[in-house]
Amino acid sequence: MASFALDPEQLKWCAQVRDWAAERLRPLAEVGEPGRVNRPLLAALGELGLLARLFPGTALELCLLRESLARECTEAETALALQGLGAHPLLESPQLAARWIPRVVSGEAVAAFALTEPGAGSDAAALELAAEPAPGGWRLTGEKCWISNAPEADVYTVFARTTPGAGARGVTAFAVPADRPGLGGERLDMLSPHPIGRLRFDAVPVGEQDVIGEVDRGFRVAMTTLNRFRPSVGAFAVGMAQAALDAAAAHAASRTAFGAPLKELQAVSHTLAEVATRTEAARLLVYAAAEAYDSGAAWTARSSAMAKLFATETAQYAVDAAVQIHGARALERGHLLEHLYREVRAPRIYEGATEVQRSIIAKELFA
C-alpha cells in the first residue's frame, strides 16, 4: 500500500484550483440560473485548462481537482464532473473522440451521460430504452430520466437495448447529438441546483458511426466510466465536508453563547473533532481508491466502493453537524450551509447508491 501524503507540487496545484474557484468561477456560478446549464462557467473551466485535465488524466488528479473545486464552488465542480462523465465514453471511439472531445475540453459543447431510466437505476442492466433495427442502423425509442445536463446538452452518451432479454450483454452505447430528430425532453425541478432532466426518444435514428465501443457491449462502457469516476464522487463529498467543517469551526470560534465562545462547549468541540476525523479518513480512502485505480490493483472495486460509501455518508454528517452548530441562520436561503445541505444529499444516490456500495464491498469480502 502506498503513502497518501501529497507532494509540494500537488498541494500547490490544489491551492491554485481553490483560488480560481473562489475568484473566477464562483462569481459566474452565482449569476447562473439554478437548474440550467451554465455555459459561461463551462467556458471559464475550459479557459483555465481544468476541463483538459479530464482527458486522459489520472484518477488521483481527478479526485484532487474535484475536491479542490468543491471546497469553494460546488457548481464549478459539478459542471466539470458532468463533462467528464458524459464525454469519457467517447474515448472508446477515435472518430467520436476527435469530433467531440476538443469541444468538450473548451467548454463549447456540453456532454451528458444518459443511463438511468424510470425503471432502471441501481440495476442498470434492466434498462429498456429500445434500439430497434432500421435501415442504416437503429431507431431509439423510450425514455431516460434524472439525466444531468438534460435536456440542454449538445451530445448524449446513451445506453440502449439492442438485444432484448439479454440483460447486461444486450446493451449498446451510442453518441447521440442533441439535434437528432425525435429527441426531446424537459427539465426536472430537483432539490439540488444542477441541470437535471428527462429525455424522450421517438424513433431517434442512430447508425454504426454513433456506436461507442462494440454493439451489445455497452454495459462494459458504462461500468468502465462509472468505475473511473466513483472515487472522485467521494472527492466531491470530501470537498463539501471540508467546507462545512471550515465554516463550523470559524463560527464556533467567533460566536459567543453562555458567556464564552461556542468552541468552549464540549458538545460543540467534540462534534467538530468527530467531523474532522471522519473527513480526514474519507479523504485517505478516496486517495487510496484513486491510486488503486491508477495502478490497476486487484482491490480497485472494493476500494472505490468504500471510498464513495464512506465519503458521501461523511459529507452528509458533516453538513448536518455544521448546520446544527450554526443554528437557524444556516437555513437561510443563500447561506453556504443551506446550499451544501441541498447539494450533499444526491451523491449518496447517484453513480451507485450507498446500499449498492455496501453490496459491492460484501461481495468482495467473500470472493
The 10s digit of each residue's pLDDT in 42-92 is: 999 999 999 999 988 899 999 999 999 999 999 999 999 999 999 999 999
Q: Which residues are annotated as catalytic?
A: 351
The tens digit of pLDDT for each residue in 108-150 reads 999 999 999 998 776 767 889 999 999 999 999 999 999 999 9
264 belongs to a structural domain: yes
Helix 59-72, helix 8-20: angle, nearest 10 = 40
Q: What is the pLDDT of residue 4?
A: 65
- Domain final residue, candidates 75, 106, 137: 106
156 belongs to a structural domain: yes
Q: What is the pLDDT of residue 197?
A: 97
- Domain final residue, candidates 180, 196, 216: 216
* Upper half-sphere CA count for residue 68 (Cβ side, 13 Å): 20
Whether omega for the bond prior to residue 181 falls within 30 degrees of 0, making it cis, is no
Q: What is the pLDDT of residue 126?
A: 83
Do 142 and 97 fall into the same domain?
Answer: no
Q: Over pLDDT 70: what percentage of the chain?
A: 98
Task: State the average pLDDT for the chain.
Answer: 94
Do 164 and 225 fall into the same domain?
Answer: no
Helix 218-254, helix 59-72: angle, nearest 10 = 40
Mean pLDDT of 7-35: 96
Do 199 and 263 fall into the same domain?
Answer: no
What three-state secondary structure class fits 162? Answer: coil
* Residue 188 · residue 198 · CB < 8 Å: yes
Q: How confident is the model at residue 3 (pLDDT cuts 50, 70, 90)?
A: very low
Do 359 and 246 fall into the same domain?
Answer: yes
Beta bridge partners, 211, equal 174
Residue type, 68: S
The residue segments making up the domain with residue 205 are 111-216
Do 267 and 352 fall into the same domain?
Answer: yes
- Domain final residue, candidates 106, 137, 154: 106
**Cα(331)–Cα(7) distance, rounded to whole angstroms?**
38
What three-state secondary structure class fits 88? Answer: helix
303 belongs to a structural domain: yes
Q: What is the pLDDT of residue 168?
A: 85
Do 201 and 228 fall into the same domain?
Answer: no
**Cα(250)–Cα(89) distance, rounded to whole angstroms?**
42
Burial of 162 (0-12, 13-18, 19+ CB in 10 A): buried
Whether omega for the bond prior to residue 56 falls within 30 degrees of 0, making it cis, is yes
- Residue 153: CATH number of its domain: 2.40.110.10
**Cα(292)–Cα(1) distance, rounded to whole angstroms?**
9
Structurally, the chain folds into a number of domains equal to 3
2 belongs to a structural domain: no
Do 21 and 67 fall into the same domain?
Answer: yes
- Residue 29: CATH number of its domain: 1.10.540.10
Do 191 and 141 fall into the same domain?
Answer: yes
Do 178 and 257 fall into the same domain?
Answer: no
The tens digit of pLDDT for each residue in 246-267 reads 999 999 999 988 888 999 999 9
**Cα(204)–Cα(87) distance, rounded to whole angstroms?**
20
* Upper half-sphere CA count for residue 341 (Cβ side, 13 Å): 16
Do 247 and 360 fall into the same domain?
Answer: yes
Do 337 and 261 fall into the same domain?
Answer: yes
Do 26 and 125 fall into the same domain?
Answer: no
3 belongs to a structural domain: no
- Is 1 a residue whose pLDDT tops 50? no
> How many angstroms from the chain centroid is the CA of residue 190?
16
- Is 2 a residue whose pLDDT tops 60? no
Q: How confident is the model at residue 234 (pLDDT cuts 50, 70, 90)?
A: very high
